[in-house]
Amino acid sequence: MSSTIKDVAKRANVSIATVSRIVNNQTGYSEKTKKKVLEAIEELGYQPNAVARGLINRRTHTIGVLFPKLSSTFVTDLLSGIEKATHEAGSSLIVCHTESNGEKTMKYLQLLNEKRIDGIIFTSAPLIDEYYQYISKMNVPLVLLSTESYAYNVPYVKVNDRHAAYTATQYLIKQGHKDIGMISGNKDDLIAGRPRIDGFISALQDHNLPYDEQKIVTNQGFSFSDGLGSLKTLLDQSPDITAIFAASDELAMGAISAAYQLGIKVPDELSIIGYDNLSIAEMAIPPLTSVAQPLTEMGEVAANMLFEILNHDKVVKSRIMPHQIKERNSVKERK
């Protein structure tokens, strides 16, 4: 007769509950105990059943992805790439929508832990200490997508926001604009807020163009309604600007809609460049020129990175994805 969980517990000199916890990948035992129990399982040839065996040897072929906000085409584009790579790898995807809410995020991490997912892609939000500690305890690989961590050494996939903002501003300068404003997201956001502001200012300074604080309007977020409200404020502060760098496509589209309401012609009287190159950029009137982030590809790269860690247990390198200007019709050359 084959061995039972009792035999394993006896041989390892631990309780049945401890063996069960270890077999079921739960927490609450030392590494030393785990080693002793796995040795006993090995020696006795304990095979409770195929499923339990799977828990020891195999993966669940499920990965978890955390998004701050689902109702944006930014996320759809990333998700579409993650989904493609995940299914190509024969795995499936559990999608968690955190709404940038700490409590919700922790709840989802617990859920992913219970599901024994193989790994996590954490997207487009700051990786705070509480999340990082919990994920470390889960002992699954983690990849950051469209975000990065200064505090922890976690592989990430993103564009260089500072460089991309510089490129956008430089594009406006090359089109002959000398008085340029910016509609920004949250200036205290160290991932997507501050770096884009810094890139904008650097570009102006490198080209000896005037800069003062009145050239920038900051917002809580990067949404259409933020952009809609920002244009008038910016033009009140800096009436002479001829071009605007908006730190997201939604901000840019909000600014274009506000210009339409104010009777300002884009691009004839005011040029606007966006950031992201979402699928909605081509739907703008005029179609929006934007700094392209290759979002779908970024999603694919992040998922593939996770599978590389899972399949080959190797240290992966973070990836800075190339950005580029996607020219449409919202910027006009100024002679």
Contact (CB, 8 A) for 166 and 202: yes
Q: Which residues contact 223 (CB under 8 A, 6 or more apart)?
A: 248, 250, 251, 254
Return the amino acid letter for 98. T
- Alpha-carbon distance of 179 to 173, in angstroms, equals 9
Q: What is the token pair recorded at 330? A: 């919202």
Stretch that binds its own copies, among 132-140, 165-173, 248-256, 301-309 (CB under 8 A): 248-256
How many residues interact with its own copies (rule CB under 8 A)? 55
Burial class (CB in 10 A: 0-12, 13-18, 19+), 263: exposed
Tokens representing residue 6 in the block: 């009792």
Q: Is 37 in the site for its own copies (CB under 8 A)?
A: no
Contact 86, 98 (CB under 8 A): no
Asked if 79 touches its own copies (CB under 8 A), the answer is: yes
Q: Is 209 in the site for its own copies (CB under 8 A)?
A: no
Query: Which residue has tokens 């909605």?
Result: 280
Cα(45)–Cα(204) distance, integer angstroms: 70
Amino acid at 289: T
Binding of its own copies by 62 (CB under 8 A) = yes
CB 253 within 8 A of CB 228: no
Report which of 293, 305, 309 is spatially closest to residue 156, judged by C-alpha positions: 305
For its own copies, which is the closer residue by CB, 197 or 252?
252
Q: Least CB distance from residue 86 to its own copies, whole Å?
A: 9
* Binding-site string for its own copies from residue 131 to residue 150, where x marks contact by CB under 8 A and - marks none: --------------------
Is residue 262 at the binding interface for its own copies, with CB under 8 A as the rule? Answer: no
The correct pick among 29, 38, 44, 55 for binding its own copies (CB under 8 A) is 55
Residue 280 in contact with its own copies, rule: CB under 8 A: yes
Could you say whether residue 38 binds its own copies (CB under 8 A)?
no
Residue 92 C-beta: closest distance to its own copies, Å: 5
Three-state DSSP class for residue 329: coil
Q: Establish if 97 lies at the interface with its own copies (CB under 8 A).
A: yes
Closest approach of its own copies to the CB of residue 330, in Å: 12
Q: Which of 173, 202, 211, 287 binds its own copies (CB under 8 A)?
A: 287
Residue among 77 and 189 whose Cβ is closer to its own copies: 77
Q: Which of 130, 282, 327, 333 binds its own copies (CB under 8 A)?
A: 282
In angstroms, rounded to a whole number, what is the distance separating the alpha carbons of residues 279 and 326?
A: 12
71 is a site residue for its own copies (CB under 8 A):
yes
Closest separation between CB of residue 294 and its own copies, Å?
14
CA distances 22 to 14, 154, 241, 249, Å, are 11, 27, 65, 49
Assess 20 for contact with its own copies (CB under 8 A): yes
Spatial contact of 267 and 329, defined as CB atoms under 8 Å apart: yes
Residue 315 makes contact with its own copies by CB under 8 A:
no
**By the rule CB under 8 A, 51 interacts with its own copies:** yes
In Å, what is the CA distance from 88 to each residue of 2, 82, 83, 92, 135?
38, 10, 8, 9, 25
Considering only 40, 66, 72, 144, the residue that binds its own copies (CB under 8 A) is 72
Per CB under 8 A, the segment of 111-119, 123-131, 209-217, 319-327 that binds its own copies is 111-119
Partners of 246 in the beta sheet? 183
What is the DSSP code (8-state) at residue 146?
S
Q: Does 24 bind its own copies (CB under 8 A)?
A: yes
Binding residues (CB under 8 A) for its own copies: these are: 1-2, 4-6, 20, 23-24, 48-52, 55, 62, 70-73, 75-77, 79-80, 83-84, 87, 90, 92-97, 107-108, 111-112, 115, 224, 250, 253-254, 256-257, 260, 279-280, 282-287, 296
